[in-house]
Amino acid sequence: MNFASDNWAGATPEVMAALGRANDGFAPAYGNDALTQRVTARFAALFEREVEVWFTATGTASNSLGLAALSRPGGLVLCSSEAHITTDEWGATEFQSGGMKLIALPQVAGKLQPQDVVDALGRYPAAGRFGTPVALSLTNATELGTVYRPADIAALTAPARAAGLAVHLDGARFGNAVVATGASPADLTWRSGVDLMSFGGTKNGCWAAEAIVVFAPDRMRDLAARRQRAGQTFSKARFVAAQFEAYLDDGNWLRWARHANAMAERLRAGLRASNRARLGWESEANEVFAVLPGTSVAAIRAAGGSLHEWPADSLPVGQRPEAGETLVRLVTSWASSADEVGRLLSML
Ligand SMILES: Cc1ncc(COP(=O)(O)O)c(C=O)c1O
């Protein structure tokens, strides 16, 4: 019963086999190998346009270096109060950008609302006394398992772009968002006003394959230098490329994400039907949030199960756990099984 994180899952057999194949002989270093060139072309096909692809090792590196390349002194980045960049990354964006400030905005189940972006732009006018907004950062699928559809993204990016901001997308779980929305990668990104994204592979079947995908290179400054100085320029880039090639081959990434989302939906269905537990909110991707009796959480852990407790203030006042209850996050992955979902539900 592994529901702590999709990061706890291993890499898929396809990815491991690709790594083995890439290990054959010598190849030019630092991304000048044929495999890396091929994968860059695959990204262009996936997004239906030319893109720049910059491999990194972690989502934090992608987010912070991508945003840093947009930076200017006194720069502000608008994001949701649940955004990984503000809650979990230990100031990486602030550090890599030389001190940009993240402005955390209200969210509903992890999703920013257009009016809140408009209000923030009013509160933080360009070159006003609080700094200058330079970027809006969205996450899809969100940290709370919900998803933005292309129209949602366009409604958020329109006011930001009109005010001159660039738009960054944290796609640590982009595959889950593509599957949940049924929208194309292009529609979920540049066609809806996204300038650059952190494209995640690790959570969905790779072991360390992340990339900054840039749709608007003219907005980016010094990304090569920033990546080099952060120690994120891979000499043996072919091994990251190999993971991405296996990821994108035959729609593997969508198959893996579809499985993870389906396992999450199974969990949600069981939780909706339970009289011992309740969903914190409806999500659509591979993260499920539920209020469980503390005794159930203890029993699941005692049986070897893993899950994370989640801050109750992610829930509106009035829906927060009562005494003896806990809000938990349950994450499914390509490696989750219907059997372990069934076992967890039966323990409730
Ligand atoms: C939404 C989101 N973005 C970024 C990351 C960063 O991942 P990493 O741990 O690879 O830096 C995570 C990891 O949990 C995440 O959930």
Number of domains forming the structure of the chain: 2
Report which protein residue has its CA nearest ligand 1's atom 4.
59
Predicted pLDDT of residue 43? 98
Same domain, 218 and 261: no
Same domain, 230 and 266: no
Which of 219, 251, 283 is the C-terminal boundary of a domain?
A: 251
Same domain, 171 and 266: no
The answer to whether position 219 is within a domain reads yes
The answer to whether position 1 is within a domain reads no
- Nearest atom (ligand 1) to Cα of 170: 3
Predicted pLDDT of residue 127? 87
- CA 204 – ligand 1 centroid, Å: 12
The answer to whether position 3 is within a domain reads no
278-290 pLDDT per residue, tens: 999 999 999 999 9
Report which protein residue has its CA nearest ligand 1's atom 8.
59
The answer to whether position 4 is within a domain reads no
Which of 251, 276, 296 is the C-terminal boundary of a domain?
A: 251
Pocket test for ligand 1, best of 62, 90, 146, 170 (most atoms within 8 A of CB): 170
Same domain, 212 and 128: yes
Same domain, 229 and 314: no
56-104 pLDDT per residue, tens: 999 999 999 999 999 999 999 999 999 999 999 999 999 999 999 999 9
The answer to whether position 290 is within a domain reads yes
Predicted pLDDT of residue 78? 98
Same domain, 223 and 277: no
**What is the average pLDDT across 222-248?**
98
Same domain, 162 and 247: yes
Q: Report the CATH number that the domain containing residue 45 is assigned in CATH.
A: 3.40.640.10
Residue 178 phi/psi, 5-degree rounding, is -60, -45
285-311 pLDDT per residue, tens: 999 999 999 999 999 999 999 999 999
- CA 89 – ligand 1 centroid, Å: 8
Q: For residues 58-91, b (16+ Cβ closer than 10 Å) or e, as one string? A: bbbbbbbbbbbbbbeeebbbbbbbbbbbbeebee
Same domain, 105 and 180: yes
**What is the average pLDDT across 309-321?**
92
244-267 pLDDT per residue, tens: 999 999 999 999 999 999 999 999
Predicted pLDDT of residue 311? 95
Same domain, 260 and 272: yes
The residue range of the domain holding 138 is 10-251
Same domain, 133 and 158: yes
- Provide the percentage of residues in the chain whose pLDDT is more than 90: 98
Same domain, 78 and 190: yes
Predicted pLDDT of residue 160? 98
Predicted pLDDT of residue 198? 99
The long-range contacts involving 19-22, CB below 8 angstroms and separated by at least 24 positions, are: 19/207, 19/239, 19/242, 19/243, 21/242, 22/238, 22/239, 22/241, 22/242
Q: What is the pTM of this model?
A: 0.98
Same domain, 194 and 84: yes
